[in-house]
Amino acid sequence: MLRTNIDKTVMQSLQGKIHHPINPSPFRVDVNGNAHILPATGGITYNVKVGDCAFGWSGDHVEPGVSIRNEDRNENNAMMLFACIGNEAKVVTGDAKGAKGFVIGKHGGIEHVLIQFEKDDLEKMAIDDKILIKGFGQGLKLLDYPDIQVMNVDPRLFLNIHIKEDTVLKVPVVAEVPAYLMGSGIGALTAFSGDYDIMTEDLDEIKRLGLDKLKFGDLVLLRDCDNSYGRGYLKGAVSIGVVIHSDCIKMGHGPGITTIMTCKKSLIEGYKDENANILNYIDYIK
């Protein structure tokens, strides 16, 4: 097993409220200049969940599960930074009080933390219900691989991923994404919050690479992508991320990726595994 500082990684309370969908403009313009009125971010998305395909939805930037936020910017910034994929989440107000789920991603721009719950629990929830997260993961280190940064992932989920140790770390992934397809979110200040998008205007290239079959929760390898101190291109750098929101119609956008590993050197490799999805690594939430 990988040696980590899990015993020194801090677990801390975070809390947000289910955020109503917002729509400052009625229209969303696609890459061909056509205007659409479509469901998008926020709220409780009843029929989209982890494990579903990220493509084909009649929507834009659709967030599976429940989207939460704080209106106090500083509080929300903290939640966006310290919530990690795989963290336990619990409803603490309303008819669904006591229901448990887990964090499935962090969506930049709209600044939402996304959480998966059972369908029966979703039916009991309402806008403004409060959800408590046990934030756990930021500060996790790989003791034998100091050049590799781990971020945005619960240590228990991370250690359940079937990572093979060699001269490099070999990580199961559903697909590899070349740097030239990474779009919205490039140049961000940090990859410890939010996501960035696989651009999908060139659908022929997306299909050639098998990316049109990506599911919410899938692990992907980002080739020549450095997420160490922001997001950008670096030849030889490798990052691993998780698919967190749907395909999009807007130019420069597509399925969102929250980073969980990155290295400026080629010390991470991917090996193909169609089952490399966070659903298959969650077994610790009771």
16-52 residue pLDDT tens:
999 999 988 899 999 999 999 999 999 999 999 999 9
When pLDDT is averaged across residues 148-176 and rounded to a whole number, the result is 97
Taking 90 as the threshold, does the pLDDT of residue 181 lie above it?
Answer: yes
pLDDT over 80 at 245, yes or no = yes
Query: What average pLDDT does range 112-125 have in this prediction?
Result: 98
pLDDT reported for residue 180: 98
Distance CA 55, CA 57 (A): 6
**pLDDT reported for residue 49:** 97
CB 140 within 8 A of CB 107: no
Please determine, for residue 286, whether its predicted confidence score (pLDDT) is greater than 80: no
CA dist 26 and 244 (Å) reads 24
Q: Is the pLDDT of residue 246 over 80?
A: yes
* Dist. CA 278–CA 161, nearest whole Å: 8
Structure confidence at residue 166 (pLDDT) = 86
